[in-house]
Structure 1
Amino acid sequence: MQERNWAGNLSYQAERIAHPRTVEELQELVAGARTIRALGSRHSFNDIADTSGTLAALDLLDPVITVDAQNMTVTVSGGTRYGTLAAELQRQGFALHNLASLPHISVAGAVATATHGSGDGNGNLATAVAGLELVVADGGILTAHRGETADFDGMVVGLGALGIVSSVTLDIEQAFQVTQHVFEDLDWEQVLENFDDVTSSAYSVSLFTDWSGSTVGQAWLKGRVSDPGVVAGQRDFFGGTPALSARHPLPGVSGSNCTEQLGVPGPWSDRLAHFRMEFTPSKGDELQSEYLVPREHAVDAIRTLRRLSGLLTPLLLVSEIRTIAADRLWLSPNYGRDGIGLHFTWRQDQPAVESVLPLLEAELAPFAARPHWGKLFDGGAAAVGPLYPRFDDFRTLAGRLDPAGKFRNRFLDYAVFGC
């Protein structure tokens, strides 16, 4: 049976999938390959991870989680999943600054696509990267460190175009406790009139909606116990009321596979993600798109999507709105600007979704919306490139590190190199 991605909407076209167990085996594999890409947790919804040649699955690579308490960093092998890393860091008394919705995704894959998490003051997951080890086209090892390596900011969100990431070094901090409160049926007008107050009310805030009606379906507020914010017993949150039992973002799905709610304090590792590591995340039979919009356009962009409800809602399972802080990583959708993520979890009807994306992107174009690299979008390099001030610098960097195009694929040719 042909190998597929997590959602099942993509069959990999690679000639073979290899599973190197050591970095040395990975080096030999890269050196001998005609074309090659890394394969992580398969959570991309487009063909960014595919190739006509060899896929190097990192799931069996030597598992490494090494904490450097003096420098407050942790080094992990590229295929390590965030849930595994979070549990080990918590055991040793440390933490990451943030997690994405799913702890099931691989560190290297999430970093390479600038996958984010949420919080007004929180950069995406790639902003925690202090160092990288890449297996480059000739099979050699390239190490890069923040503040030391030229073009480091161009290497972190690398889209797999520069080499295969064999290990990542991340910033860590002392472990902290988090509470999670869910409020339901917030009044849209109150939310939009007080948007900054809504998103700053907790360390991490997510709003869930299907864009129809006069209310926001759910607000998930994750707060550090040591910080002020929403407290137990609060009965109103911008027109919304507290959920009385665990909730799931998707209608009709049990909240039992979501992280602990109802304001019960617990480790960051068990609260910052939306879903528990031990359960199948979300639904699986879905598609996803996401667009990152500058913070100053947040309310106008949201109002635009509400006007498109008749087009969007029938295709949706749910949408999520999150905030992300600015960074300096060249191909990060938050390069140079604080932003909001407008996320779409679609029903698994790819022809219908793909027919809507050009219109959706046209409506969001006035707000300089940048698509998430690992999810479904329509625009190619001609549309995406002008949104990134360092886009041409990245293409030059990729040409220098991979002059023969060993790591190129159909996705990169379309979305980055414009072939």
Structure 2
Amino acid sequence: MSEKNWAGTREYSAQTVHTVHSVAEAQHIVARASKVRALGTRHSFNGVADTRGDLVSLVDVPPDIRLEDDGTVSAAGGTTYGVLAAWLERERLALHNMGSLPHISIAGAVATGTHGSGSANGSLSSAVRAIDLIGIDGEIVTVAHGDGDFAGSVVALGALGIAARVTLAVEPTYRVRQDVYADLDWATALADFDAVSGCGYSVSLFTRWLGDTVPRVWVKSRLEPGSDGEMPDRLFGATLVRVPQGAPGTEENDGTTLQGGVPGPWLERLPHFRLDATPSNGDEIQSEYLIARADASGALSALREIGEQIAPALLMSELRTVAADDLWLSTTYGRDSLCIHFTWRNAPAMVGAVLPLIEAALAPFSPRAHWGKVSAVSPAAAATEYERLTDFAALARRRDPEGKFGNDFVDAIVGRE
């Protein structure tokens, strides 16, 4: 087969890809397979979703979105956040957070700890209240909030089964505006990073690590009912940009959500990109590292020192913040975090050369590499940053003794040959 990820930068090694149209079909395949993994919307850049056995794609399973009796909402795992968000808005409901891309599947995003943004906002995974997993025998196992294994079963890298259905906490709908500021002095950003990153409901700083300023700051403000909000002409010395801007590095193929301070529904402002547009650059490689937000100034200063070495391979970096959670393998487990994201040119040799420099610069700050993106550190070494690794490994071996859901990536983490 020659199936590739969304960006076309990684080819899967599976023998067969099964595109199913019902959970029952997926259950049948899992029960018969010796090695099997789920394939979602293919937004991972490393081997986390791969297998040398069978891949099962659930993206064509009907969303079957339901409002549950307890006020939560559930949907088929292959449903994209964009489809779910549109359904929620029609019901006057909302999620607390969204990733930059609404095109990603719920189950895949949750399993790899995709985080969204906002200093007071938990990751996308933190909204999970239950997961229906197809287990090794093809039967459904439901793990719900409050169960002993729940915190280890959400960000689980596909190691515990295939997520057929996910249940999420929701809240009443709300509006958001996006404003763009230009040329924030690095000295100001580093002097009080908490204030800068917390000046909106969700804040993104875009940089190429060169010069004395952060070229763009996107501020997404959650609006009170009946108010359109107001933003100053100057924010921490940066200047309000009144003409809407695209995402840095994507101007030739700009599909960004509306900026310029125009209020709109949460689902049309919190993501960076529109569901009806091609997301981001496409022909790219991505990396990301999360550190404690308290270490932001030191870590960012360390990266600025090697900016000249980073820039040639880089399209753009984005800095965001996310609140702590208690999910065992979450990149934000136990600490409010700064997310340092790199969108690279599709130049594997250049990227491979610069990643060790970045990881060395961040090493004093105990970085956690995003589970679905490229890093120089091995999965086994990455897992040592997690206090509950031993508990997760035991859970994975108990749920899947023979490693049916394993692959090279997962097996290295759980200590399975």
- Alignment TM-score > 0.5, same fold: yes
1:254 is displaced (CA, Å) by: 5.1
Q: How far is the alpha carbon of 1:380 from its aligned partner?
A: 2.2
Superposition CA RMSD, Å: 1.8
User: In 2 relative to 1, CA 230–301 (structure 1 residues): closer, same or farther, beyond 3 Å?
Assistant: farther
1:5–1:11 contact (8 Å) kept in structure 2: yes
- Classify 1:216/1:329 alpha carbon distance in 2 versus 1 (closer, same or farther; 3 Å): same
Q: Matches of 1:376 and 1:352 in 2, distance apart?
A: 13
- Please point out which of 332, 335, 358 is paired with 2:333: 335
8 Å Cα contact 1:181-1:262 kept in structure 2:
yes
Q: 1:230 to 1:354 in 2, by over 3 A?
A: farther
Stretches of structure 1 lacking an aligned partner (at least 5 in a row): none
Shift of 1:399: 0.3
Q: CA deviation at 1:247?
A: 1.3
1:175 corresponds to which of 165, 173, 181: 173
**Cα distance in 2, alignment partners of residues 119 and 323 from structure 1:** 5
Relative to the length of structure 1, the TM-score reads 0.96
Q: Secondary structure of 1:387's match?
A: coil
Partner of 2:124: 125
The aligned counterpart of 1:212 is 210
Distance 1:236 1:327, change over 3 A: same
Given residue 16 of structure 1, which amino acid in structure 2 is its aligned partner?
T
The question of whether the paired residues in 2 share the 8 Å contact of 1:96 and 1:171 is answered with yes
Aligned AA (2:27)? Q
Distance change in 2, residues 1:112/1:290 (3 Å): same
Instruction: Give the drift of 1:396.
Output: 0.6
- C-alpha distance in structure 2 between counterparts of 1:347 and 1:415, whole Å: 28
Match of 1:67 in 2: 67
**In the alignment, is residue 108 of structure 1 matched against residue 132 of structure 2?**
no
Q: Corresponding residue for 2:10?
A: 10
Deviations 1:32-80 (A, max 9, x none): 0110000000000011111111100011113211113x52211000000
Using a 3 Å threshold, how does the CA distance of structure 1 residues 386 and 2 change in structure 2: closer, same or farther? closer
CA distance in 1, matches of 2:249, 2:38: 35
SS in 1 for 2:384: helix
Percent identity among equivalent residues?
Answer: 49
8 Å Cα contact 1:294-1:367 kept in structure 2: yes
Residues 85 and 304 (structure 1 numbering): CA distance in 2 closer, same or farther, change over 3 Å?
Answer: same
Local SS of the residue matching 1:397? helix
Equivalent residue in structure 2 for 1:383, among 381, 384, 389: 381
Which residue of 2 is the match for residue 83 of structure 1? 82
Q: CA deviation at 1:230?
A: 11
Measured against aligned partners, the alpha-carbon deviations of 1:366-389 in whole angstroms (never above 9, x if no partner) come to 101000000001222452233111
In structure 2, how many angstroms separate the alpha carbons of the residues matched to 1:329 and 1:159? 12
Map of 1:25 onto structure 2: 25
CA distance in 2, matches of 1:307, 1:348: 24
User: Could you tell me which of 268, 271, 274 is aligned with 1:273?
Assistant: 271
| Amino acid in structure 2 at the alignment position of 1:356 | V
3-state secondary structure, aligned to 2:24: helix
Q: Is the 8 A contact 1:248 1:254 kept in 2?
A: no
Correspondence for 2:415: 417
Aligned residues: 417
Asked whether 1:303 is paired with 2:295, we answer: no
Quote how far apart the aligned CAs of 1:20 are: 1.6
Q: Could you tell me how far apart the structure 1 residues matched to 2:298 and 2:213 are? A: 17
1:123-162 equivalences under 5 Å are 123-147=122-146, 149-162=147-160
Contact 1:370–1:384 (Cα < 8 Å) also in 2? yes
- Residues in 2 aligned to 1:385 and 1:10: alpha-carbon distance in whole angstroms: 22
Amino acid in the other structure paired with 1:72: G
Higher alpha-carbon deviation: 289-298 or 242-251: 242-251
Within 5 A, what are the aligned runs for 1:50-61? 50-61=50-61
